[in-house]
Amino acid sequence: MRDKYIPLSVPNLKGNELKYVTDAIKTEWVSTGGAYVNEFEKNIAEYVHVKGAVSCQNGTSGLHVALLLTGITPEDAVIVPTLTFIAAVNPVRYIGAEPIFMDCDDSLCMDPMKLNKFCAEECTFESDKLIDKKTGKHVKAVLAVHVFGNMADMVSIRNIADRYHLKVIEDATEALGTYYTQGDFIGKYAGTIGDVGVYSFNGNKIITTGGGGMIVSDNEEYLRRAKHLTTQAKSDELYYIHDEIGYNYRMTNLQAAMGIAQLEQLEEFIRIKTENYWLYRQGTDNLEGIKLLPVREGIRSNHWFYALDCAQYGWKRDELIQYLAEHRIQSRPIWGLIHSQKPYEGARTYQIEKAEQYWSRVVNLPCSTNLGREDVLEVLKCIREM
């Protein structure tokens, strides 16, 4: 039995985190006010090249606000992926709108060909509105998730959305630092191509504030309203006058202090993630029966999570996960498909096939940014010996 435990994904806090958080404590600005919040918003906006950013408590709250910004109501429907974490879709139901579940392509992100086919064949487009013929709902937006740091096909998704007057919300909670290196959106970061983008700084993300998230956009009115909604919708801060329902979604100064230190290290984290990805890739390329899934061509991925495709080639997903666990190596299957979860029984779905195949086959391997070369080689050794 190995002595060392290799976790799936844990934070890397070896930068200026303690220094900045200690300074925030010394200033006694520890709640949702403080200079670090404003600075972190500014630094994120500058990093991904957008007009502005608004902090929030987590990626889920950011997506909730993004849906409100884009005008989603209980009378509307939103096209969403089924292969993602459930927190990406739950905000649609927070508002009372209906999700329409879409299949994935081989990137594990939303399949734009099926998206286009659904809009063209299952809907009518009249008076600038896309109406689902089956439910009568106004399909108002598409929520694209960049799974595991890969980039969804935003060129196709954006073109489809523009054709049918759909708002585009990007769940880039797993993809901070991913950007196009060629094509129509060269230089554009995940989260900045749609109308609104959202990042997460949960403990397992590529940078973390413990919790926390960020809303980004080039739409200045969206940014103004996002700030308004996340700070309880005060129209008069002195007399506590509120002009609509707001939310206590603002990030704390302590979280932001930590986030600034993490953002300083992001490019180094991506370098390590990329190096380890290729080490895994080289170590599995010659193994019969398994394959490390590639990223989409023409992007610089942050390589947040590594996805090993096994069952298609004769391996069994659950047996591999159990075998690794017995050797003190943490791995996991991908999320249970959302359309099959109890809260979404009977929800509208469209031609979900590939997502079910990948759900049964994919295993996530250890991917922390403090994972050393020797750790990756140990994981590969264990896989080879199974």
Percent of residues, the chain, with pLDDT higher than 70: 98
| Mean pLDDT of the 72-82 span | 98
Residue 169 near residue 132 (C-beta atoms within 8 A): no
pLDDT confidence of residue 286: 84
User: Residue type at 140?
Assistant: K
pLDDT confidence of residue 237: 87
Q: Sign (positive/negative) of CA torsion 219, 222, 224, 227? A: negative
pLDDT confidence of residue 288: 82
Q: pTM for this one?
A: 0.97
pLDDT confidence of residue 316: 87
- Check whether 1 has a pLDDT greater than 70: no
Confidence of residue 158 (pLDDT cuts 50, 70, 90): very high
Give CA torsion, residues 61, 62, 66, 69, to 10 deg. 80
Rama region for 130: left / alpha / beta (φ>0; ψ in -120 to 50; rest)? beta
Q: What is the mean pLDDT of the chain?
A: 96
Which is higher by pLDDT, 288 or 354?
Answer: 354
Tens of pLDDT along 234-292? 999 889 999 999 999 999 999 999 999 999 999 999 999 999 999 999 999 888 888 99
pLDDT confidence of residue 3: 80
Distances from the Cα of 5 to the Cαs of 19, 273, 325, in angstroms? 29, 19, 9
Confidence of residue 315 (pLDDT cuts 50, 70, 90): confident
| Nearest residue to 13 (alpha-carbon basis) of 242, 264, 336 | 264
Length of the chain: 386
Token pair listed for 284 = 């599995």
Tens of pLDDT along 27-64? 999 988 899 999 999 999 999 999 999 999 999 999 99
- Check whether 345 has a pLDDT greater than 90: yes
pLDDT confidence of residue 38: 97
Residue 260 near residue 40 (C-beta atoms within 8 A): yes
Tokens 């429907």 map to which residue?
77
Q: In degrees rounded to 5, what are phi and psi of residue 158?
A: -65, -40
- Check whether 145 has a pLDDT greater than 80: yes
| Nearest residue to 78 (alpha-carbon basis) of 62, 102, 54, 57 | 102
- Check whether 2 has a pLDDT greater than 70: no
pLDDT confidence of residue 83: 98
Confidence of residue 346 (pLDDT cuts 50, 70, 90): very high
Confidence of residue 180 (pLDDT cuts 50, 70, 90): very high
- Check whether 314 has a pLDDT greater than 70: no
Confidence of residue 371 (pLDDT cuts 50, 70, 90): very high
